[in-house]
């Protein structure tokens, strides 16, 4: 047998004496097949990080939570987002109410109650919320219908909703749950509707570090 011939794994002869360029198309074709049939790279979920800042409405009260700040991380997990909120520089052992809002400062626009954040003995708190927190976050009312009246105080429940087209809500805000807690912290004692009973205190943190129409939730596609 010619020394330039070898027996391949399938029992056929491969003439290694052929010039290398004769095999180049075969090698190229094999590489193309491997390239086109490879598994696509896994798509990484998106996430965004940003800060919340002390409400400018508190600037005339310099002793009111002067070191208040917040950090937010939103992670996309496919059908929903997970939003983690960390706050500090707040009064210890105090309840706060967290909202997704249309505008960071008064009059706030459409506002959606997410839940509560309670601070520990060091004035730090953490909350985790699951929902739709991205460019598609919105509220809509195709028509006006009756609504349940549950609370009747300074901010009574409406007995029906206004009809409206979709309104996107890309900002965040945090309020004292109690006006008394706000006063004890050197803050104004205004009563606001930003808790479950509509008798909350003033806003302490928001996302006014972003433009009114370009709130941070808009960053996540």
Query: Which range is least confidently modeled, 37-41, 111-115, 146-150, 160-164?
Result: 37-41
Q: Judge if 31 and 131 occupy the same domain.
A: no
Residue 38 predicted with pLDDT over 50 = no
Q: Judge if 33 and 103 occupy the same domain.
A: no
Number of domains in the chain: 2
Percent of the chain with pLDDT over 90: 78
Range of the domain at 33: 5-37
Percent of the chain with pLDDT over 70: 80
Q: Judge if 75 and 18 occupy the same domain.
A: no
The per-residue pLDDT for 45 is 58
Q: For the chain, what is the mean pLDDT?
A: 86
Residue 181 predicted with pLDDT over 80 = yes
Residue 176 forms part of a structural domain: yes
| Nearest partner of 97 among 217, 216, 202, judged by Cα | 202
Q: Judge if 32 and 53 occupy the same domain.
A: no
Residue 42 forms part of a structural domain: no
Residue 205 forms part of a structural domain: yes
The per-residue pLDDT for 78 is 86
117-121 contacts, C-beta under 8 A, 24 or more apart: 117/85, 117/87, 117/174, 118/93, 118/94, 119/87, 119/90, 119/91, 119/92, 119/93, 119/94, 120/92, 120/93, 121/92, 121/93
At residue 46 the predicted structure's pLDDT band, cuts being 50, 70 and 90, is confident
| Nearest partner of 177 among 117, 101, 126, judged by Cα | 117
- The model carries a pTM of 0.79
Q: Judge if 59 and 23 occupy the same domain.
A: no
Q: Judge if 53 and 160 occupy the same domain.
A: yes
Map tokens 């509220």 to a residue: 139
Q: Judge if 51 and 33 occupy the same domain.
A: no
Residue 163: Cβ-neighbour burial (10 angstroms; 0-12, 13-18, 19+): exposed
91-137 per-position pLDDT tens digit: 999 999 999 999 999 999 999 999 999 999 999 999 999 999 999 99
Residue 30 forms part of a structural domain: yes
> E strand or H helix at 181, and its extent?
helix 179-184
Longest dimension (CA), the chain: 103
DSSP percent split of the chain into helix, strand, coil, nearest 5 = 15, 35, 50
């Amino acid at each position: 047998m010619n020394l330039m011939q070898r027996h391949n794994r399938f029992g056929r002869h491969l003439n290694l004496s052929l010039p290398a360029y004769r095999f180049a198309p075969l090698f190229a074709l094999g590489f193309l097949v491997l390239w086109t049939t490879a598994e696509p790279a896994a798509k990484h979920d998106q996430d965004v990080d940003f800060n919340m800042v002390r409400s400018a409405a508190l600037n005339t009260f310099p002793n009111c939570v002067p070191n208040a700040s917040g950090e937010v991380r939103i992670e996309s997990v496919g059908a929903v987002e997970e939003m983690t909120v960390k706050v500090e520089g707040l009064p210890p052992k105090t309840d706060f109410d967290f909202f997704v809002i249309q505008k960071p400062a008064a009059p706030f626009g459409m506002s959606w109650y997410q839940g509560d954040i309670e601070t520990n003995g060091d004035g730090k708190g953490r909350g985790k919320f699951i929902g739709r927190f991205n460019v598609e976050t919105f509220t809509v009312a195709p028509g006006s219908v009756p609504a349940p009246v549950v609370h009747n105080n300074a901010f009574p429940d409406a007995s029906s909703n206004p009809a409206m087209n979709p309104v996107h809500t890309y900002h965040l805000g945090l309020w004292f749950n109690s006006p008394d807690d706000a006063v004890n912290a050197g803050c104004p004692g205004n009563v606001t509707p930003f808790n479950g009973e509509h008798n909350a205190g003033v806003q302490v943190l928001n996302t006014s570090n972003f433009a009114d129409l370009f709130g941070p939730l808009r960053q996540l596609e």
